Structure 1
Amino acid sequence: MTLDQFTPTNYPRMSAWHEGWTDVTYPIFENMTGWPGQPNTHLETLSCIHCGDTAKVSVLHMSVHSGSHMDAPNHFMAEGIDISRSPFEVGLGPVRIARIDCAAEVTPQDLEDYEARTRPLEAGERLILRTPNSDKGLWLQHPFDKDYHGIGPAAAAVIAKRKLALIGVDYLSVGPFYEGNPQTHRTLLGGDVWIIEGVDLRRVTEGDYEMICLPLKIVGSDASPIRILIRPAAAQ
């Protein structure tokens, strides 16, 4: 096709590239649910048009582990790289979303049950778990729930052994609150599995999707907010 022949109507993929995407990013707002002991999210106004200033300018105060975010290896590994060095391709491409109806933490059996009804997990794949966390509504408006469903260390070891590229969860931490949180993080990050947390899967069903997920390039940071979009994968 020459440049003269190109029009949006005869090149449908270009004209419809934005269609079908669902935003599964949680919003950032004042006093949103955060990890216990971390500062509340606060949006400060430096200047205001209605107050007579030329422009509105704001400053956002928040933990980088608030809302939808990606962890960097240096979050739990002293020699790990920071979020500014994360490979952008890790968040771009096919992703599997698995419904995990776990009673407590995610176990190896939960992963085996998922594989049995779908297909085995393969090296390099991306996987996001939809647990009972997603059925609790907009949890960012609620007090922090220490009984959320995280990935237990044993299940993390399975994920690392499968050599997945990325694992995602639908609450603020990939590991359980009471026991095994550091072990889960270190097992995954040490196995070169990138972690995204706080994905909004309330209206998402199990299946195969495409994903766009990019962190901010914050030098030295151990995490970053993300904007994450998914759409159903094209039928093969």
Structure 2
Amino acid sequence: MQIYDVTVPVHPRMPVYPGDPPVVLEPRAQLSKGDPANVCYCGMGTHTGTHVDAPFHFIETGRKLHEIPLNIMVGRARVVEVTARKIDVDTLSRLDLGEHIRVLFKTRNSQLWQQETFNPDYVFITPEAAAKLVADGIKLVGIDYLSVEEYGSTTFATHIELLSNGVVILEGLDLRAVDAGDYELICLPLKLMDSDGAPARVILRG
């Protein structure tokens, strides 16, 4: 069985969503300076790189990260490849999601990880498509850039549609090395108490 690491490496030069904290990795103790061990300070936002959004991200009374059941984030998932510039209802009508409750969208976004600056021209999911995913029983939606939302949105309707209906959002995947098909998803976000989200290590096995 092959293992695909679809997690974006975390480093200070990586793109982050505008307004989010930058990544900081600083040595605080170094063997080369006579310290007994190497120790780094790590600072970043909860929505850095490959990460999970909890409902609390956009809903004040929503479930927080540590309250999301792991059985939603671990299990069979379908990777679907989309060439459209946005994922709308028409796009979904041409996809076969089968009986899966977890769907990962592979788009041209994955190529954007070659850039060190944020690119606002990414493929997103429309609110109407989000509603259809909810109606179809999807419980986890993944996408290969930093947001499922259209850049510049002021209503955040896609996020709210998904999160208010208990759908886990997995953003920031790197699916360049993965073909469309069925896999076992293992998504383990940092167990940050009372958080709106957290970076995650995500692998696919198939």
Which TM-score tier does this pair reach, normalised by the shorter chain?
Answer: over 0.9
Aligned residues: 206
**Gapped runs of 5+ residues in structure 1?**
1-18
Query: Comparing both structures, which one devotes a greater share of its residues to helix?
Result: 1
Distance 1:176 1:193 in 2: 18
The equivalent of 2:116 in structure 1 is 142
The equivalent of 1:230 in structure 2 is 204
Distance 1:30 1:171 in 2: 17
The equivalent of 2:74 in structure 1 is 92
From the superposition, tell whether residues 77 and 39 of structure 1 become closer, same or farther in structure 2 (CA, over 3 Å): same
From the superposition, tell whether residues 159 and 152 of structure 1 become closer, same or farther in structure 2 (CA, over 3 Å): same
Asked if 1:129 is matched to 2:129, the reply is: no
Asked if 1:113 is matched to 2:87, the reply is: no
Asked if 1:54 is matched to 2:39, the reply is: no
From the superposition, tell whether residues 181 and 225 of structure 1 become closer, same or farther in structure 2 (CA, over 3 Å): farther
From the superposition, tell whether residues 132 and 181 of structure 1 become closer, same or farther in structure 2 (CA, over 3 Å): farther
Q: 2:137 aligns with which of 136, 158, 163?
A: 163
TM-score relative to the length of structure 1: 0.83
* Code of the aligned partner of 1:217: K
* Code of the aligned partner of 1:28: V
**Gapped runs of 5+ residues in structure 2?**
none
Distance 1:109 1:20 in 2: 33
* Code of the aligned partner of 2:57: H
SS where residue 109 of structure 1 aligns?
helix
Asked if 1:184 is matched to 2:165, the reply is: no
Greater RCO (CA < 8 Å, at least 6 residues apart): 2
Matched-pair contact (CA < 8 Å) for 1:90–1:165: yes
TM-score relative to the length of structure 2: 0.95
Query: Comparing both structures, which one devotes a greater share of its residues to strand?
Result: 2
Matched-pair contact (CA < 8 Å) for 1:173–1:197: yes
Q: 1:75 aligns with which of 57, 74, 90?
A: 57
The equivalent of 1:38 in structure 2 is 20
Distance 1:26 1:72 in 2: 19
* Code of the aligned partner of 1:32: M
Matched-pair contact (CA < 8 Å) for 1:163–1:193: no
Matched-pair contact (CA < 8 Å) for 2:4–2:177: no
SS where residue 157 of structure 2 aligns?
helix
- Give runs of ≥4 in structure 1 deviating > 2 Å: 178-181
Percentage of pairs with the same residue: 37
